[in-house]
Structure formats: C-alpha cells, structure tokens
A = this chain, B = another copy of it.
Amino acid sequence: MLNVGLIGYGYWGPNLFRNFNANSGFRVTAVADRCPAVREKLAKAHPGLIIVAEAGELITMAGIDALAVATPVATHYPIASKALDAGKHVMMEKPLCTTAEEARDLITRAERAGRVLMVDHTFLFTGAVQTIQDLHRKGDLGDVCYFDSVRVNLGLFQPDVNVLWDLAPHDLSILNTLVDEDPLHVEAAGYCHVNPGLPDMVYLTLHYPDNKVAHLNLSWMSPVKIRRVAIGGTRKMLIWDDLNPEEKIKIYNSGIEFQPETSRNTILPDYRIGDITSPRVPKYEALNGVVEHFRRVITGEVTSIMDGRKGLRVVSILERAQASLDAHLKRVSEAGGGIR
C-alpha cells in the first residue's frame, strides 16, 4: 500500500482523490490546498486525512510515497523538482511543465532519484484512444498521413493559460502515440477576441517528415462543442467523434489507391469506397486506468507509456507553438490588427 499526497483540490483533485482511494494499491493520506474553504470541507468529510495549506509540507512529509499534483501549470516545475529530490514518485497533471528545459531537468532528477515521473494524459486511457492505438499497432490504418483535429467549444476561459495550452495537450499526447517523431516545423496562428494577449482561437500545424501533417483547430469561441479527430492512413481512415455516445469511432475502408513510383505523373487516382465500421468502444473511467498504470510503473510491472519523455515532447511542441504564435501575434499587430 502506497501513501499518496494530493496537491491541489480544485477541479480535477476530487477525481484523483476518488480514483487513488478506489485503487487497492494506494491510499490518499494527505492533501494540500491553499483555499481555506476547501480544507475545511475536506476536514469535515474525511476526519483522518492530513490537510495542509502549502504544497511544501507534503513534499517533505515522511510516510508519503507518491504525490499527485493538480495545480496551475506555472507551479508544476517547482513542485515536481522538489518532490523528486525528496524521493517521492510524482504524477503531474498535463502539461508536465512550461518549457522543454524544465521537462528535461525533471527527467534528469527523476532518473537521479530513481523515482517515477509520470504525466496524467488521461485521454490515453480512454476506450476510444486505446481502440485507435490498437488499430494503428495492428497496421489496419497503414501509415498515418494526417491527423486533423477540431477541438472547439464556448469557453471556458482559463485565467492562466491560452486556448493552445488548454486544449492542445490532449491532441498532442494522442498524436505522439501515432507518430513517434519530432515535427520538422511547428506553425501557429492565434486570435484574441476577448482578452488582449490571450488567444481564444488557435490554428496549429505540425509538419512531419514524409509529408505527414497534423492540424489542430482550437477555439473557445465556437457556439457548439466539437471533439472530432480525423486520421488518414494509407490503408484506412477513421473519424473519432468523442461526443457521439454510440459510435465514437468510425473506420472507413476507403482511400486513394496510391500510384506506383513510375506513374507519378498520372493524375486521376482510383478511389476505394467500402464499408464503415464502428467498433464497440469499452466504457470505463479513464482515470482509473491512469492510477493503476502509475502503480504498476512504480512496482516495476510495466514500462510507463506516459513518462517524462512523453511529457517532454508535448511540452516541447507547445513551446515551439507558443513561439510561432507570439511571432504571429506581433506580425498581425504591427500590420494594424489587434483587439477591437
């Protein structure tokens, strides 16, 4: 039984609390949160629980084996670095931290301390994403040509992040299981309709070798919520509509019959339009799988699929995207654009 300390009991914290306690290998023994009202409510509901205000107290607390951290992203690096140095296993909410440099430093510290550093990219443990990964692993899709995501809704505006950092980590963590390479180019354009300096619409394009492309349409300004990812493979294509309860994934046995090398100048490729299959996607709480994975990585039963290096790649892409976004915003602003 591993004792867990939970840092941050805001939106996501209660889910972590519940899932860690539901896992027979963990017990949440302490929680840190800066909000007095939150601490008071927790104390009333859970008499035996250690409750403190400051993350620092948990980091150094004896008897705690692992920390789960659900705080604003700007605080991730200081908390995680100290926690690893103090010999705790650490599970960070996504994204891991704010720069690639921080991420590399955390990886080094985890290795030096011999402790587990994991990032909670919860989507990787959903039935839908695991179904997609299975299809990809078995070669059903062929080579992935494109990944095209529309992830839009009305708000919610976040105080500390723009729409890129809010929504892109989901797509990037999934994309990285399909395309195990760094992008050659990362280009982002963004628009600030509500708060100046805080883009609420971002178009992100990732260019990979061999003409692979990923495109993310991210918005807090859409009147309807859409969670739709199209993945084009050389053999099959699929659409993942996460809001369709009955048919989350549709696999299209359709495609372009690619021409052999010698006939590349011909211009009318053949189409293949076949059946559409919607595989049964198992329904369960993904976070339950995340917590169990954390346990099995700590005990050495499995290799982590959400380790620091995975987190680093996501952060690294976000960092490059933000640089491109900043350049774009500057260019548009100089050209006479800007907030109304």
Stretch at the interface among A61-69, A217-225, A311-319: A217-225
- CB of A332 within 8 A of CB of B157, answer no
Specify the chain B residue showing the minimal Cβ separation from A238. Answer: B223
User: Does A41 sit within 8 A of B, measured CB to CB?
Assistant: no
Specify the chain B residue showing the minimal Cβ separation from A274. Answer: B280
- CB of B222 within 8 A of CB of A267, answer no
Residues of B within 8 A of A12 (CB): none
- CB of A184 within 8 A of CB of B274, answer no
User: Does A150 sit within 8 A of B, measured CB to CB?
Assistant: yes
Specify the chain B residue showing the minimal Cβ separation from A333. Answer: B211
Q: A150-B150, A205-B203, A269-B194 are in contact. Are A337 and B184 (CB under 8 A)?
A: yes
User: Does A201 sit within 8 A of B, measured CB to CB?
Assistant: yes
Q: A221-B232, A274-B280 are in contact. Are A159 and B267 (CB under 8 A)?
A: yes
User: Does A35 sit within 8 A of B, measured CB to CB?
Assistant: no
Residues of B within 8 A of A192 (CB): 211
- Most B-side CB within 10 Å, residue of A189, A208, A239: A189
Residues of B within 8 A of A268 (CB): 157, 159
Stretch at the interface among A18-26, A94-102, A166-174, A251-259: A251-259
- CB of A254 within 8 A of CB of B191, answer no
CB distance from A123 to the nearest CB of B (A): 20
User: Does A227 sit within 8 A of B, measured CB to CB?
Assistant: no
User: Does A340 sit within 8 A of B, measured CB to CB?
Assistant: yes
Interface residues on A, range: 35 or more
Residues of B within 8 A of A209 (CB): 336-337
- Most B-side CB within 10 Å, residue of A193, A254, A269, A271: A193
Measured between alpha carbons, how far is A335 from B181 in the docked complex, in Å?
Answer: 14
Measured between alpha carbons, how far is A245 from B209 in the docked complex, in Å?
Answer: 36
Residues of B within 8 A of A193 (CB): 145-146, 211, 232, 256, 258
Q: What are 9 contact pairs spanning A and B, CB under 8 A?
A: A143-B340, A154-B273, A157-B268, A157-B269, A196-B264, A208-B337, A250-B278, A264-B339, A278-B278
Give A contacts to B, CB under 8 Å.
Answer: 143, 145-146, 148, 150, 154-155, 157-159, 184-185, 187, 189, 191-196, 198, 201, 203, 205, 207-211, 213, 215, 217, 219, 221-225, 230, 232, 237-239, 243, 245-247, 250, 252, 254-256, 258-259, 264-269, 271, 273-280, 331-332, 335-340
Give the 8 A-B residue pairs with the shortest CB-CB distance, closest first. A223-B252, A223-B237, A276-B278, A184-B335, A223-B254, A159-B267, A275-B279, A191-B213
